[in-house]
Structure 1
Amino acid sequence: MSWKITVLAPRDVVQAALIAHEDVFDWDGDIVIAGSEIAEDRPDDWQLEAWFDRKPTAADRAAIAALFVDGMPKPVVEKLPETDWVTLSQAGVEPIREGPFHVHTPDYAPLEEPGVRDFVIPASLAFGTGQHATTAGCLAMLAHMKAQGVIVRSLADIGTGTGLLAFAGLYLWPHARALASDIDAVCGPVMALNADTNHVPLGDGPGKLAMVIAAGTDHPLIRASAPFDLLIANILAGPLVELAPDFADSVVPGGSVLLSGLLTTQEPAVRAAYARAGLRLAARLTRGDWSVLWLRRRSHGRIRASAVGKLPEWSRRW
């Protein structure tokens, strides 16, 4: 990306713009946007950033401005060095610990502690190094599910990015059949390289991971492999709502769906969509402004929801 537009605004204003972005069906896929705190000690001061591979046109600026209902604050438009913004933003990030997992870039050494699974995830074009609160929260929830006695013989990670959550699932349930997919073709070689680096066997069978490029569950291998005991989707609230019926049909009765990528303000809409599809909340946790939800498909028994209060809070904010 060679150009960027930055808009400084209060947190609620930026979050509202991000939600508005999800409702734009004809959004230009070449414009990548994100919202974040300006600094950890200023939690209410946020920025919305939009990256372009071209100089922003008047139409591009209008598209960003339209996300702000009460008018967009004055934007800052700048040309960036010719580099990959995702890699740059993730380079040199500190390792994290979540449950039994230690996730780090190649710049850091593994912990090599008993009971700790090290994952080396280089900064890359694919989302999911573990540094984002949603990815880290999913790692924590997976560990909680394992501790609660959840049995997984088959799992799918939809929107896998780097493959990290699928790798984590296979570590916790090493005899499961696993499948990882993403809509973005760039994730294919990234997932394969990360699997090789982390000694995750690829293929179709117990203890192995198959990888496909697909939108949602729209792939012959996903359909043939379903229903799963566990489906993971760390994407965005809009697609989560839209895919609720498909995800519900893709898990066994009593099976689990792990969702993230949604703001806490978006949680009611997401939970309502999955309730209509026959899933009920088993547990939830929040990391800053983000929610992580463990849902289960109805079987003959009743599911009792709980908060995962003992899980450590995410100490860094995106």
Structure 2
Amino acid sequence: MIATNTGGARLIRYGGVRENLMDLQAVLVEPAGVLVGSERSLRKDNTGLIWAQLLCGTFGAFGVVSRATLKLHPIQRQSATALVAVPDTKAAIHLMCELEAEFGEMISAFEGLSAGALDAVRQHQKNVTVPFQTTPSYAVLVEVSSAIPPGRGLDLEAMMMAWLERRMEAGDLEDAVVDKPAQLWRIRHSVSEAVQSLGKILAFDLAVSRSQFAEFRDAALQLVAEIVPAAIACDFGHLGDGGVHLNLVVPAETAPEKIAQLRDAVYDLTVLRFEGSNSAEHGIGPYNEGYYRRYADPQTRRLATLLKGRFDPSGLLGNVHLG
């Protein structure tokens, strides 16, 4: 997790691993077996190079993390969760802004779910109930939470219900279901397995700025329709931080050159037009190494080559050439 700086469904509240990494120790291969880093776990240290920041998110290419200290957060004593149907992603982004204005730092998740993702769960996860009678065009899973125990002047469920009623009256949403968190989160966590049951998957792990998310998604789906018209979009992900798992179900007989064309087009759209990331959470890996070379700026690649040559001259670590 440290090597890939992984995120997660509650990144909007807690950040990724990098934001929660206080200190680490790692073993180098050059000089062989040398231990670097510390166990001081200081919250403030501006004395120069910090190994935790150098090694986090570099895919294990410079050293092997052997010990780490992570920041802890208070246990949340109460929460309120809702699955909200909206007409499109533009409405979802507007709803998120309204949620932030109402709940501020108590927001712990804002997860987007397309109609294709919800239909996949409905069809292939018989033990999971999608509560809408008709599948909405788009839905968001909203969670707010607090470390303040119930009965101390804060009632999140009542606040959530009142906020949803106001948003319904304002026309910001089409429907909403408030249920036990575990029931609604089962829908979100079932998407990946359900989509895999539909057939051949072409998966993208992308991120753009939140303000451009709706425009980006529309443009991406338009590309998909032009290049592989029969593809079914089952996208979902961390809408609160601009991340999306754009999973496409493509016919098994789709030509490899069409797959390659679609992959290139979606990545170019993400990085070149919307200045986003073609690997938001899952790192590079050998499969996407060519795209790393395609999009990484020359100075970053040059510096990565210098560091790799210094820390791992024999190429023993990692499986990606960062230069």
Give the TM-score of the pair, scaled to structure 1.
0.25
Greater relative CO, 1 or 2 (CA 8 Å, sep 6+): 2
Which structure carries more helix by proportion?
A: 2
Which structure carries more strand by proportion?
A: 1
Larger radius of gyration: 2
